[in-house]
Amino acid sequence: MSGGTIRVLIVDDVAESRDNVEKLLRFEPDITVVGKAARGREGIDLAVALHPDIVLMDLNMPDMDGIAATMEITARVPTTAVIMMSVQNEPDVLRRAMLAGAREFLAKPFSLDELIMAVRHVSRLAPRPAPVVGPAVVPGIPNGRADEASHARIISVVSNKGGVGRTTLATNLAVAIRRATQKQVVLVDAALPFGDVGVMMNVADGKTLADIVPQARSLDRELMEDILVTHGTGVRLLLAPLTPQEAETVTAEHLRAVLALLSKMADYIVVDTRPGFDDTMLSILDASDRILLVLTMEMTAIKDTRQFLEIAELLGYPADKLWLVLNRQTALSGIPAQDIAENLNRELTAKIPDEPAVVLRSVNEGAPLVESHPDHRVAVEINRLAASLVADDLVEGLPSGAPQPGRSSGLVGRLRTAFRHA
């Protein structure tokens, strides 16, 4: 940005659309429209000449579609970020836009609030003249982080495929971190439509993320304390809405505000998520210090993991922000773990064995395995992963099977440099 002003270029072949967007932005003191283009090629030329902070790019244009134009702009002007606009809101279109390098997607017609929020959010994430990866941004936290003393480490547990054990890992990991550090740990169930954290932690009642929505503008510590549910393990839970209808009221902006506030209230935040790359998921991924990408030994899971890694690279996430976690490792799959690592060209940070009987029982009983069976080999591996994530904060009396500081191979060394945002 120049002098604190976000410089925007609008590219849309419909003159009325260009003018309407310009009118929406006109009265925002921190946003200036520096140019408008009616064609993709014209938009590229103006981007090269003007170096705007943001390009608002329409998807469908007669000479060159927005996907191709975005790819060329991001290659030739790496300090410019692109927000794609389209009446098409299908998942495949969203994925193509991100693969081309777009940082946000606005479905037409969009409101003034949606437009302004997207422009400001992407501006914070956009690379600056020195081509480095920008920090994750959480509203209310300068440069995406609070002071180290008040910033929780945010660990999101993700997968590009359902049914890989993501929620099981998230719940057990939160308990393992609590047991290992005795610090404040919050487990957020952001699998909004069908969250299962409450079931897996045997919590039948309690307030949820949906209770934040009516009071979002006055969200503070007191309100958050009232909504959080304290589990018997000491982990505090922010539960998913009870119904898909309630889940629809929770927006990406709500989650950004929640994570910003929780970052000042806790030491660790573990976020369970859901497959996809919508704005809600991108908000979580942007705010995360560590992304645990969970996969199993199925070709479909490996394929989806590769796609996730490709998109993460295009989104500018540092390679060491993502750790691969192989769940349900078994010799019966016919695919050696080493072959999976080589295929993905990434190290497998953790390999959790396949023990369906004991895991199923722990899920059905609502008792996290690391608490009920801490010496079981599945629990041992999860404790080992937790110890690697919190190596600097380990306390005496680790759970049985968890490694001592300095004995977790190369992961401790990685940890000391991994919580960086260049």
The larger pLDDT score, comparing residue 90 to residue 300, is at 300
CA atoms of 403 and 388, how far apart (whole Å) = 8
Q: Which of 80, 96, 125 is the last residue of a domain?
A: 125
Same-domain status, 88 and 213: no
Domain assignment present for 137 = no
Q: How far is CA 56 from CA 191, 338, 372, in A?
A: 30, 43, 52
Q: Region 384-396: what's the mean pLDDT?
A: 77
Q: How far is CA 365 from CA 153, 201, 205, 408, in A?
A: 29, 9, 16, 31
Domain assignment present for 409 = yes
pTM: 0.64
Same-domain status, 293 and 403: yes
Q: What is the structure's pLDDT at 408?
A: 31
Domain assignment present for 132 = no
Instruction: Read off the CATH number of the domain in which 105 is found.
Output: 3.40.50.2300
Same-domain status, 392 and 260: yes
Domain total of the chain? 2
Q: Cite the beta strand spans of 173-252 per DSSP E.
A: 185-189, 229-230, 236-238
Q: Region 314-322: what's the mean pLDDT?
A: 87
Provide the token pair at 379.
């629990």
| Predicted confidence (pLDDT) per residue in 16-52, tens digit | 999 999 998 988 899 999 999 999 999 999 999 999 9
Residue 417 has pLDDT above 90, yes or no: no
Residue 418 has pLDDT above 60, yes or no: no
Q: Region 301-315: what's the mean pLDDT?
A: 89
Q: What is the structure's pLDDT at 298?
A: 93
Residue 400 has pLDDT above 70, yes or no: no
Instruction: Read off the CATH number of the domain in which 345 is found.
Output: 3.40.50.300
Q: What is the structure's pLDDT at 393?
A: 65
Same-domain status, 199 and 331: yes
* Mean pLDDT across the chain: 84
The larger pLDDT score, comparing residue 259 to residue 4, is at 259
| Predicted confidence (pLDDT) per residue in 211-235, tens digit | 999 888 888 999 999 999 999 999 9
Q: What is the structure's pLDDT at 172?
A: 97
Residue 414 has pLDDT above 90, yes or no: no
Q: What is the structure's pLDDT at 22?
A: 92
The residue among 291, 301, 364 whose CA lies nearest residue 328 is 301
Q: Which of 59, 93, 125 is the last residue of a domain?
A: 125
Same-domain status, 115 and 147: no
Residue 2 has pLDDT above 70, yes or no: no
Q: What is the structure's pLDDT at 126?
A: 57
| Predicted confidence (pLDDT) per residue in 160-216, tens digit | 888 999 999 999 999 999 999 999 999 999 999 899 999 999 997 789 999 999 888
Same-domain status, 30 and 172: no
CA atoms of 210 and 217, how far apart (whole Å) = 14
Helix (H) or strand (E) holding 326: strand 322-329
Q: 183, 315 in Cβ contact below 8 A?
A: no
Provide the token pair at 48.
């090269």
Residue 127 has pLDDT above 80, yes or no: no
Residue 85 has pLDDT above 70, yes or no: yes
% of the chain beyond a pLDDT of 70: 86
CB neighbours of residue 379 within 10 Å: 28
The larger pLDDT score, comparing residue 216 to residue 289, is at 289
Residue 271 has pLDDT above 90, yes or no: yes
Q: What is the structure's pLDDT at 394?
A: 59
Which residue range forms the structural domain that includes residue 206? 142-418
CA atoms of 40 and 12, how far apart (whole Å) = 8
Same-domain status, 11 and 106: yes
Q: 171, 201 in Cβ contact below 8 A?
A: yes
Q: What is the structure's pLDDT at 145?
A: 37
Q: What is the structure's pLDDT at 1?
A: 52
Same-domain status, 388 and 278: yes
The larger pLDDT score, comparing residue 129 to residue 320, is at 320
Residue 147 has pLDDT above 80, yes or no: no
Q: What is the structure's pLDDT at 167?
A: 96
